Amino acid sequence: MTCDLCDAPEAETVGDLELCAKCREGVEGAVQDGPHWQCLHGAVWSERREVQLAAAQVLMKLGVPWALEVLEMGALPEDVLAEARGAGEPEVVHRDTNGAVLSAGDTVVLIKDLPVKGAGFTAKRGTAVRGISLVPENAGHIEGRVDGQRIVILTEFVKKQG
Ligand SMILES: [Zn+2]
């Protein structure tokens, strides 16, 4: 079988697709721009929805001007684009040390002493931090005020109160 995205001769089955190693990496992991991805110019015109979707996902991950142009040239149905967009941006969920979901405004308690870099003090274990905010792009970070200073705290070192 040949790769559904780039026609490379050595491809293996991945779900509903046949993918070469390079395309598989792009669909499942991080993508770096490079000549290989010019294959997507053709792949977006595939009549198979799963191929369109994989191509759209890789193009969105690439995010560079030529990739966005390919997305905008109208080969892909709107519902494919919407699904690709959903898959490309996983929702960031913040959880405390026990796996409880944290929300902005929650109160958390520190479960260990945390030296605060640059501030010259240690936030003590047991300190309650009220009214936390969530760092949107990083599920492992929240922000809160300790000793009057706004600091970033790792979610693994806090427990939700209440
Ligand atoms: Zn390929």
Q: Rounded to the nearest whole angstrom, what is the distance from the C-alpha of residue 1 to the centroid of ligand 1? A: 11
Q: Rounded to the nearest whole angstrom, what is the distance from the C-alpha of residue 72 to the centroid of ligand 1? A: 22
Q: How far apart are CA 16 and CA 2, in angstroms?
A: 13
**pTM for the whole thing?**
0.56
The domains found in the chain, sorted by start residue, are 12-88 (no CATH), 108-160 (2.30.30)
- pLDDT tens, 4-32? 999 999 999 999 999 999 999 999 998 99
Position 89 scores a pLDDT of: 55
**CB-based neighbours (< 5 A) of ligand 1, an ion:** 3, 5-6, 8, 20, 23
Q: For residue 152, what are the β-bridge partners?
A: 143
- pLDDT tens, 95-132? 999 999 999 999 999 999 999 887 788 999 999 999 99
Position 117 scores a pLDDT of: 80
For the chain, first and last CA: distance in Å? 56
Cα–chain-centroid distance for residue 99?
Answer: 19
- pLDDT tens, 41-56? 999 999 999 999 999 9
Position 158 scores a pLDDT of: 98
Q: Rounded to the nearest whole angstrom, what is the distance from the C-alpha of residue 123 to the centroid of ligand 1? A: 51
